[in-house]
Amino acid sequence: MARLEAIIRRTNGSYKEDTIKFKDLVLNIKNRKAFIKDEEIILQGKQFDILEYLINAKGTIITKEQIFDRIWGFDSYTTTNVVEVYASGLRKILKKYDYDKYIKTIRGVGYMLIE
């Protein structure tokens, strides 16, 4: 279902809302911009994708493999370690706004967005 939603979004379909929210964090899916309290946060493509995935699955543990398969795809020539690198970069960006604390690492499994 997630793959179908992504395909529809990429082909300018309108399956989902244009924005998703977590507390004061707003992701504009259409123009791929992120804001906290009206201040734009600069995220690289994959960081945005990971954050979008975490917000949509808030409160659910997402394995590194699930993130890797959804963001990089089965055909990628890299390893799941890339997820840790991007998650770390995402945390560094969100730390300025004190939002890094909401991304919980489930050791040996993956990540979860908590309230």
What's the domain range around 68?
A: 2-113
In this prediction, residues 12-28 reach a mean pLDDT of 80
Q: Residue 12: which CATH number?
A: 1.10.10.10
In this prediction, residues 60-88 reach a mean pLDDT of 91
Q: 3 pLDDT exceeds 60? A: yes
Task: Please tell me the predicted confidence (pLDDT) of residue 36.
Answer: 96
Task: Please tell me the predicted confidence (pLDDT) of residue 5.
Answer: 72
Q: Record the pTM.
A: 0.82
Q: Which residues contact 83 (CB under 8 A, 6 or more apart)?
A: 50, 64, 67, 68, 71
Give the chain's domain count.
Answer: 1
In this prediction, residues 93-109 reach a mean pLDDT of 96
